Amino acid sequence: MNTAKKLADSASDADLRADIESLRNDLKALRDDVLAVGAKKATDASETLDEQITKMRTRANKLMDAADEETRHVASSIEKNVRENPVASLGAAVAVGFLLGRSVLRK
């Protein structure tokens, strides 16, 4: 009986070792799957971020172009006003200079 018990224990140990090895293999496969999913998510997030940056850059360029055009328009309008009314423009410039000078001297 003692020999039968040893054989049974030995078979039980072999089964247990096989189960542990199978579990290790399953965990390795699971780890690989999780890493693959994480890498895919990171790639997707990076691509989405790149698309958003490109859209923002395009929009910023359009806004800068519009601001540049508006600045040119305002400068042209001021230049036209100065050419048409030089005396009034000179008076306005003197008044603005006087007000700025007083505000700076008060401080």
Instruction: Give 1's DSSP letter.
Output: -
Residues 6+ apart with CB under 8 A from 82: 89
pLDDT at 14: 81
Residue whose tokens read 């850059």: 57
Over residues 7-44, the pLDDT tens digits come to 566 668 788 888 899 999 999 999 999 999 889 998 99
CA distances from 17 to 3, 22, 27 (A): 21, 8, 15
% pLDDT > 90, the chain: 57
Give the chain's mean pLDDT.
88
Contact between residue 81 and residue 89 where contact means Cβ atoms under 8 Å apart: yes
